[in-house]
Structure 1
């Protein structure tokens, strides 16, 4: 997302007063009376116009201004994405899950096959998807391969690491997608893993995704049901999950493709 800033003097942006698209945000606590922020949101661009109707522009407190403005712009621009809906992320006991799975993260190391997932806008590999998680001292170097929608072989790389500031979850930052939180809801490490990601945008919008991973191209229905029941507990609609094609013609045995 690119931004155009016309900066005068304000201090803190508060709540959005209109629906996303063309917004005027009131400013409270600014050094100039009558300050305001006008935000124009497009599909892939947010243009910010900061104005003050006071007599004197005062260029102090600029850093907190920019932090606030960029946060608002990120939130508002995000709601133009197809996967973002009104509401907030479901309640997930991340602290308890983190306490359970963090000591055993190393057991997630190795090869995983995508069994199924909810609709995703940032998922260029759609068939025969397999991943390698390589554990390196608390984080993972990752590599995925498979075929895109045009049946062309594709490979992407990335990282999975612990979230900053003590937040009890992982972060996945993969090529051709945006960084996102990642929570291990359930896994026995040897057969399956139920993974969940949810991003909250200002407490008014959110986007979430569910994934079922398997250690083999075909996952036993017993383990599929474990994940489905787990997702039901956080009100994630299991009927939205799309199964990843993992047929016999997939290059599953060719591990050299990961090198």
Structure 2
């Protein structure tokens, strides 16, 4: 049922008057998910340090998220950062496992976007997390990727590790962009 809903959302986007920039020809990569994923260890603060640009994400720099886990609802996530106009924006949503997939393959649900997969390909829980999100149908895909780090500074090892992980899983890492984390960032999600 979840796959049918996600496919219907993508079909509606493709059938609209114009195809959004984030929908492209192709198929989603068949990524491997983290084995023995520990939801409790994944909780806490994560910083987006590299992403495949998301046009409906309102922030472009200093992006950070707090993942608060409970076994009934999954993660309550607060994500914040600065917009291109230097406005501090904070959004709340959920990321949660479903019965249809293993724990590392969750669903992300934020008010400003349609529900989408959130697949943790690999994480060590302490320094990096490589996350893939893609919905595909009829040779079109809406593909996003994230490199998360537990710190905004010294994230080079997280980026290097995830670049290797994404490439190994068939995801083009050259489509990722750096998320600026400068000295004027404020982290108060």
Same fold flag (TM > 0.5)? yes
Of the candidates 25, 39, 48, which is equivalent to residue 86 of structure 1? 25
Distance 1:232 1:157, change over 3 A: same
Aligned residue number for residue 204 of structure 1: 139
Q: CA deviation at 1:125?
A: 1.2
Q: For structure 1, list consecutive stretches of 5 or more residues without a partner in the other structure.
A: 1-67
Q: CA deviation at 1:221?
A: 2.1
Bigger Rg, which one: 1
Structure scoring higher RCO (CA < 8 A, sep ≥ 6) equals 2
Where 2:75 maps in the other structure, the secondary structure is strand
Counterpart-to-counterpart distance in 1, 2:8 and 2:113: 19
Aligned residue number for residue 187 of structure 1: 123
Q: CA deviation at 1:112?
A: 0.9
Structure 2 residue 62 is matched with structure 1 residue 123: no
Q: CA deviation at 1:224?
A: 1.5
**Are the aligned partners of 1:115 and 1:218 in contact in 2 as well (CA < 8 Å)?**
no
Instruction: Count how many residue pairs are aligned between Structure 1 and Structure 2.
Output: 179
Q: CA deviation at 1:75?
A: 4.4
Structure 2 residue 114 is matched with structure 1 residue 175: no
Structure 2 residue 181 is matched with structure 1 residue 246: yes
Q: For structure 2, list consecutive stretches of 5 or more residues without a partner in the other structure.
A: none
TM-score of the superposed pair, with normalisation by structure 2: 0.85
Q: CA deviation at 1:238?
A: 1.5
The CA RMSD measured in Å over matched residues stands at: 2.1
Aligned residue number for residue 58 of structure 1: none
Q: Superposed, which structure 2 residues align to 1:95-114 within 5 Å?
A: 97=34, 99-101=35-37, 104-114=38-48
Q: Superposed, which structure 2 residues align to 1:1-259 within 5 Å?
A: 74-79=9-14, 80-94=19-33, 97=34, 99-101=35-37, 104-137=38-71, 139-164=74-99, 166-168=100-102, 169-201=105-137, 203-252=138-187, 257-258=188-189
